[in-house]
Amino acid sequence: MILEDPMFTDNVVKYIKDSRLSAEKAVEKASKEIMEMFEAMESEYFRSRADDIKDLRNRIINNLRGRRQSLGLDLKEPSIVFARELLPSDTARMDKKKVLAFVTEIGGITSHAAIVARALRIPAVVSVKDLMKNVKSGAMAIVDGYKGLVIIEPDEEVLREYSQKK
């Protein structure tokens, strides 16, 4: 939809013609204006739509540069996905059958990762401070979406407690 929005497309063309910006810089500037508009809104739902604009911006710029974007989410086995942020195109490329849970540093209950998790009925915890500093690839973890808890490297007692809840 944004690709058909005159506010976006006209600004991109204007920045290229009048300001002599490259296509990438023009897309960056025009999308930044729209993201700032969404981020200033009171509704959390609309604020989180800024992520959709960011995702689209990244995809357009990568296409202009001839690059394919990959978050490295080619899951070989069922896994918990830990990420700083998950944009719509990130979750679209995942094999949903192999996603056990989502945990992100950035996002809210209306973020794309949270919406996808609800639709797939898998646990998700978002807005986890310093997540990527505290988790290593392959770490054992428990994600309790009901309580908003992420337990990294749980001890035997916690593992027993959560296996009984399953």
Q: What are 11-69's pLDDT values in tens digits? A: 999 999 999 999 999 999 999 999 999 999 998 888 888 888 888 898 888 888 887 65
Q: Which tops the pLDDT comparison, 41 or 72?
A: 41
Q: Cβ distance 121 to 101 under 8 Å? A: no
Q: What are 80-131's pLDDT values in tens digits? A: 999 888 877 777 778 888 999 999 998 887 777 788 888 888 899 999 999 9
pTM of the model: 0.63
Query: Cα separations (Å) of 9 from 5, 27, 34?
Result: 6, 9, 11
Residue 48's Cβ-count burial label (10 Å; 0-12, 13-18, 19+) is buried
Model confidence at 163, pLDDT cuts 50, 70, 90, reads confident
Delineate the domains of the chain, giving CATH numbers in brackets: 2-64 (no CATH), 79-165 (3.50.30.10)
